[in-house]
Amino acid sequence: MSERVVIDQLQSLPDGPVSVSGWVETVRDQKKVQFVILRDETGAVQLVNPATRPVADSPDPQDADALALTDTISALATGTFLTVTGELKHDERVKLGGVEVKIGALEIAGAALAETPIAADSGLDKRMDWRFLDLRQRRNNLIFRVATTLEHAMRTWWIERDYIEIHSPKLMSSPSESNAELFSLEYFGDQTAYLAQSPQHYKQMAQAAGFGKIFEIGDVYRADPSFTSRHATEFTSIDAEISWIDSHEDVATMQEELLAAAISAVKAKHGAEIEELFGVEVIVPSLPFPRIPLAEARDIVAARGHVTQRTDGDLEPEGERQVSAHVKETFDHDFVFVTDYPFEIRPFYHMKDAATGLTKSYDLLYKGVEITTGAQREHRIEVLEAQAVEKGLALGGLEHYLDFFRYGVPPHGGFGMGQARLLMLLLGESSIREVTFLFRGPTRLAP
Amino acid sequence: MSERVVIDQLQSLPDGPVSVSGWVETVRDQKKVQFVILRDETGAVQLVNPATRPVADSPDPQDADALALTDTISALATGTFLTVTGELKHDERVKLGGVEVKIGALEIAGAALAETPIAADSGLDKRMDWRFLDLRQRRNNLIFRVATTLEHAMRTWWIERDYIEIHSPKLMSSPSESNAELFSLEYFGDQTAYLAQSPQHYKQMAQAAGFGKIFEIGDVYRADPSFTSRHATEFTSIDAEISWIDSHEDVATMQEELLAAAISAVKAKHGAEIEELFGVEVIVPSLPFPRIPLAEARDIVAARGHVTQRTDGDLEPEGERQVSAHVKETFDHDFVFVTDYPFEIRPFYHMKDAATGLTKSYDLLYKGVEITTGAQREHRIEVLEAQAVEKGLALGGLEHYLDFFRYGVPPHGGFGMGQARLLMLLLGESSIREVTFLFRGPTRLAP
């Protein structure tokens, strides 16, 4: 590769020849001098060129190269990718990093059309149409560097603790969660395949397989017609499942330690830049996170004057916000585990507590939004079958799943967490669309 | 959680009380003494119990608990998950790790049916029917620990070099690679979605977005009707794409360094166990890998006496084996980049070399099998469109993809690598089915 220097390294180099590559963010084409702001994945730098304009009755022949360079810069469209070799100069008067590069030669690598279809302040839908341009914004680039750090910190935490990473199939012969919100496709003529709504079946299978502790980060699919800021038809799910637990509490403990480690890594690497570009302070959560049983959470919501519209006893989005507000005011904490959900509003595979009849499960709320459901799973086949029947499910459709429990399985549990929700809340964004590389929704399949 | 000790820690503990959890691998139910081999995700240990059998005319009353424990052990089915608390004792006569646990109490956590449907020597298809039992084998467990280490080493190598990890959507409005081998589905009534055959479009989009260097590890889909040991309808693809390259050589250099680092990590962590269970020495490849232009590779194949059946000039599987055999004999190397493929046998988006007309691309062979295609991409929109037309493609269907090249894009290239092929060859396995958590093929959608 050419001896390209990435832009955030320029400040540490001495004055002298350099080569930088990036795209044109702005051009200031003044009569006597031309400035180009060039951005790459690490930062931006000012390029400068003393303009050589054609003089009608020049007494001496003009420098053809200098004329051509000036013309080229005048004609540069925003977004054009180019490489400049030139002279780096430190100059504290230059606001952008205290350095500039005097252009020696300029090579256009990929010219842009003159008219850019979006601006930084275009509406979200328009920006999604042109996501590849939208992602050139510095704050959008940061989102994906933060996501990379967040995930890598989680994987590292797990792997240091001997977890196995799995890639479970997303093509299945039967639904993984429910018969609703399910994508199906024709599979080699006479078969029907379903797209996995979660890795639930298979992360439990890994427990029957004796894997002990596993995680998976992968895409799952929901044919969910909703258009809220928290839903997508394809999203990255962060899942873990562990054996030999006593209750969902062991899962919650794992998850809170994991999150504290991951958020701590984000703060260390990107905290200052997040504060600058998102106006958000990254707060590493203290351990343990607060826990509130659902019944108590409902009382808190009511005491705060919110009248629920739901009749099933679950929290609605406003209820979740109220619980989180209470926790923030009372414990100064951004996270809260809401625990002990009744079986009626939980999947059939959540284990019931023998004493209370409530499930050994939790939802994790972060800044007012649910990001996770976790639970101990029912691993006793007779009980599991009875719970499926209680939910009105046909055991035939669950045949392969139920088989996992017939040849020995340890007590186990786990959680699933939406990557985009976590990221959205961490950065104080208003929609998962902003933090998803390419969002997919009912009316959004492209680009 | 209970104070469970994982089995590979037992040897380092002093004699005394311990609690272990796992599943029953075998029971030796002798008259005077009972032995259980208990396995967990880390190893196996011998449990021992002095049998207390009912005596018809016992002069003294027998110990009811001891009788019950003996009965319980006699009735244990293979695969049953249980927890034993007992006394750890070091005894060098015990072949299995030099320790045993005298059973104090035994608690069955998940009983298995008495008849196990498969044995270790069952056929592959039968084992795939009962994959969760098949995965309990020690060597199968090792496969997924190796996969975890391999992937984490790759991610770490990339992230240390400031790559961004992306999750590109697998639901698309148009095919990502070709109109063949394509799964499609109805999407909210009147739309058709296609499952991504690769992240090709979107990893290139990340270059237009100025991300610079990215990677993705995620599942992709091919409606491929073949039943070979190297093909699947869903597989995990390891992809990277980088900007500002001079040619495919920059991609190859990145990939060989990445692979050497990843294989080195596997050797360090699992080398001895791989040698024990797979009879394979993990060899960290030396750098650089050999490179052979395709035309020369064909000559090598011919010189070795193999007559090709193909008329398009590409290597067939036997040709790939011959080239790798030649490289092994000549350079003692397991990898070889075959380079300079004619455009006729490459996708439309591979860049042509101006001088030769051949593509700036490579295949990477590992132990005789192709695991990767890499290339510099054509980023000049007029050339790219002309190449698409040359391949007979309709530009309309590529509309969103082609847009990525209209608003500036740097020169770039990348590779895609099949995770299962890499793992299969590393471990000397005969089929990707053996190294895939749950294989998906034309007749395999379950479990």
Is residue A424 in some structural domain?
A: yes
What number is the ipTM of this complex?
A: 0.97
Could you say which of B151, B210, B245 has the minimum Cβ distance to residue A40? B210
A173, pLDDT greater than 80: yes
Q: Are residues A260 and A132 in the same domain?
A: yes
Q: Does the distance separating the beta carbons of B209 and A131 come in below 8 Å? A: yes
A222 labelled ligand-binding: yes
Which of A110, A145, A175 delimits the end of a domain? A110
And the tokens for A427? Answer: 């950065």
And the tokens for B107? Answer: 């608690």
Q: Does the distance separating the beta carbons of B116 and A206 come in below 8 Å? A: no
DSSP-H helix ranges across B171-247: 200-208
Q: Are residues A99 and A154 in the same domain?
A: no
And the tokens for B420? Answer: 């299962």
Q: How far apart are CA A435 and CA B438, in angstroms?
A: 31
Three-state secondary structure call for residue A194: strand
**Any idea what DSSP says for residue B393?**
-
Q: How far apart are CA A46 and CA B326, in angstroms?
A: 53
With beta carbons under 8 A apart, name residues in chain B contacting A172: 445-446
Q: How far apart are CA A195 and CA B347, in angstroms?
A: 28
Could you say which of A233, A408, A437 has the minimum Cβ distance to residue B168? A437
The residue written with tokens 């084409």 in the block is A29
- In chain A, % helix, strand, coil (3-state, to 5) comes to 35, 25, 40
And the tokens for A151? Answer: 């995930």
Q: How far apart are CA A21 and CA A29, in angstroms?
A: 20
Taking alpha carbons only, the member of B404, B400, B403, B416 closest to residue B174 is B400
Q: Are residues A90 and A133 in the same domain?
A: no
Nearest CA of chain A to the CA of B306: how many Å?
A: 35
**Any A CB within 8 A of B118 CB:** no
Query: What pLDDT does B176 receive?
Result: 78
Q: Are residues B134 and B105 in the same domain?
A: no
**Any A CB within 8 A of B342 CB:** no
Q: Does the distance separating the beta carbons of B410 and A445 come in below 8 Å? A: no
Q: Are residues B332 and B275 in the same domain?
A: yes
CATH code of residue B262: 3.30.930.10
Residue B224 identity: D
Q: How far apart are the first and last CA of chain B?
A: 30
Nearest CA of chain A to the CA of B239: how many Å?
A: 15
Instruction: Report angle CA A408, A410, A416 to the nearest 5 degrees.
Output: 120
Q: How far apart are CA B436 and CA B140, in angstroms?
A: 10
**Residue B442 buriedness (CB in 10 A; 0-12 / 13-18 / 19+):** middle
Taking alpha carbons only, the member of A328, A210, A79 closest to residue B24 is A210
The residue written with tokens 């950065």 in the block is A427
Query: Cα separations (Å) of A444 from A9, A21, A182, A440, B202?
Result: 39, 33, 17, 5, 15
B79 in Cβ contact with A408 (< 8 Å): yes
B177 labelled ligand-binding: yes
Quote the radius of gyration of chain B (alpha carbons, Å): 28
Could you say which of A81, A169, A223 has the minimum Cβ distance to residue B408? A81
Taking alpha carbons only, the member of B332, B144, B209, B54 closest to residue A128 is B209
Is residue B120 in some structural domain?
A: no
**Any idea what DSSP says for residue B122?**
S
Q: Does the distance separating the beta carbons of A447 and B404 come in below 8 Å? A: yes
Query: What pLDDT does B75 receive?
Result: 97
Which of A110, A137, A154 delimits the end of a domain? A110
And the tokens for B20? Answer: 């272990």
User: How long, in residues, is chain B?
Assistant: 447
* Residues within 8 A of A (CB atoms), B 66-95 only: 77, 79-81, 83
A1, pLDDT greater than 60: no
Q: Does the distance separating the beta carbons of A233 and B171 come in below 8 Å? A: yes
Is residue B390 in some structural domain?
A: yes
A228 in Cβ contact with A395 (< 8 Å): no
Q: Does the distance separating the beta carbons of B211 and A144 come in below 8 Å? A: yes
Taking alpha carbons only, the member of A213, A117, A205, A128 closest to residue A168 is A205
A61, pLDDT greater than 90: no
Which of B62, B77, B110 delimits the end of a domain? B110
Q: Are residues B378 and B412 in the same domain?
A: yes
Q: Are residues B151 and B207 in the same domain?
A: yes
Is residue B445 in some structural domain?
A: no
CATH code of residue A61: 2.40.50.140
Residue A23 β-bridge partners: A39, A81
**Residue B139 buriedness (CB in 10 A; 0-12 / 13-18 / 19+):** middle
Nearest CA of chain A to the CA of B80: how many Å?
A: 5
Is residue B443 in some structural domain?
A: no
Q: Does the distance separating the beta carbons of A24 and B438 come in below 8 Å? A: no
Nearest CA of chain B to the CA of A396: how many Å?
A: 13
Three-state secondary structure call for residue A45: strand
The residue written with tokens 């006479």 in the block is A190
B160 labelled ligand-binding: no
The residue written with tokens 């030099």 in the block is B98
Could you say which of A79, A141, A193 has the minimum Cβ distance to residue B445? A193
Q: Does the distance separating the beta carbons of B131 and A171 come in below 8 Å? A: no
User: How confident is residue A58, by pLDDT bands cut at 50, 70 and 90?
Assistant: confident
B377 labelled ligand-binding: yes
Chain A interface test: which of B129, B142, B176, B437 (most A C-beta within 10 Å): B437
Q: Are residues B403 and B347 in the same domain?
A: yes
Residue B439 identity: F
With beta carbons under 8 A apart, name residues in chain A contacting B250: 1
CA trace torsion A269, A271, A276, A277 (10° rounding): 70
Query: What pLDDT does A133 receive?
Result: 97
Q: Are residues B235 and B89 in the same domain?
A: no
With beta carbons under 8 A apart, name residues in chain A contacting B196: none
Three-state secondary structure call for residue B255: helix
Lowest mean pLDDT segment, chosen from A280-284, A391-395, B205-209:
A391-395
Q: Are residues A171 and A132 in the same domain?
A: yes
Query: What pLDDT does A397 receive?
Result: 87
Q: Which residues contact A303 (CB under 8 A, 6 or more apart)?
A: none
Q: How far apart are CA A54 and CA A73, in angstroms?
A: 14
Size of interface A-B (CB pairs under 8 A): 289
Q: Does the distance separating the beta carbons of A145 and B164 come in below 8 Å? A: yes
Query: What pLDDT does B175 receive?
Result: 86
Is residue A441 in some structural domain?
A: no
Taking alpha carbons only, the member of A76, B371, B83, B308 closest to residue B362 is B371
Residue B216 β-bridge partners: B239
And the tokens for A348? Answer: 């059939």
Q: Does the distance separating the beta carbons of B151 and A21 come in below 8 Å? A: no
- pLDDT tens, position by position, A410-446: 999 999 999 999 999 999 999 999 999 999 999 999 9
Beta strands A213-221 and A234-243, pairing class:
antiparallel
Query: What pLDDT does A286 receive?
Result: 98
The residue written with tokens 């593509």 in the block is B359
A193 in Cβ contact with A172 (< 8 Å): yes
- pLDDT tens, position by position, A89-136: 999 999 999 999 999 999 999 999 999 999 888 999 999 999 999 999
Q: Does the distance separating the beta carbons of B168 and A438 come in below 8 Å? A: yes
Q: Are residues A345 and A313 in the same domain?
A: yes
A309, pLDDT greater than 50: yes
Q: Does the distance separating the beta carbons of B213 and A438 come in below 8 Å? A: no
Is residue A115 in some structural domain?
A: no
Walk along chain B (447 residues) and give the pLDDT tens digit of each residue. Answer: 458 999 999 999 999 999 999 999 999 999 999 999 999 999 999 999 999 999 988 888 899 999 999 999 999 999 999 999 999 999 999 999 999 999 999 999 999 999 999 988 899 999 999 999 999 999 999 999 999 999 999 999 999 999 999 999 999 998 878 788 999 999 999 999 999 999 999 999 999 999 999 999 999 999 999 999 999 999 999 999 999 999 999 999 999 999 999 999 999 999 999 999 999 999 999 999 999 999 999 999 999 999 988 999 999 999 999 999 999 999 999 999 999 999 999 999 999 999 999 999 999 999 999 999 999 999 999 999 999 999 999 998 899 999 999 999 999 999 999 999 999 999 999 999 999 999 999 999 999
Q: Are residues B79 and B212 in the same domain?
A: no
**Any B CB within 8 A of A445 CB:** yes
- Burial pattern B100-126, b for ≥16 Cβ within 10 A else e, equals bbebeebebbbbbeeebebeeebeeee
Q: What is the mean pLDDT of residues A53-67?
A: 90
Is residue B171 in some structural domain?
A: yes
And the tokens for B106? Answer: 């035994």
Chain B interface test: which of A4, A27, A37, A132 (most B C-beta within 10 Å): A132
Range of the domain at B48: 7-110
Q: Does the distance separating the beta carbons of B188 and A225 come in below 8 Å? A: yes
Lowest mean pLDDT segment, chosen from A158-162, A384-388, B178-182:
B178-182
Could you say which of A209, A212, A407 has the minimum Cβ distance to residue B113? A407
Tally of structural domains, chain B:
2
The residue written with tokens 């397989």 in the block is A209
Q: Does the distance separating the beta carbons of B188 and A183 come in below 8 Å? A: no
Nearest CA in chain A to B253: A1
The residue written with tokens 């959560």 in the block is A285
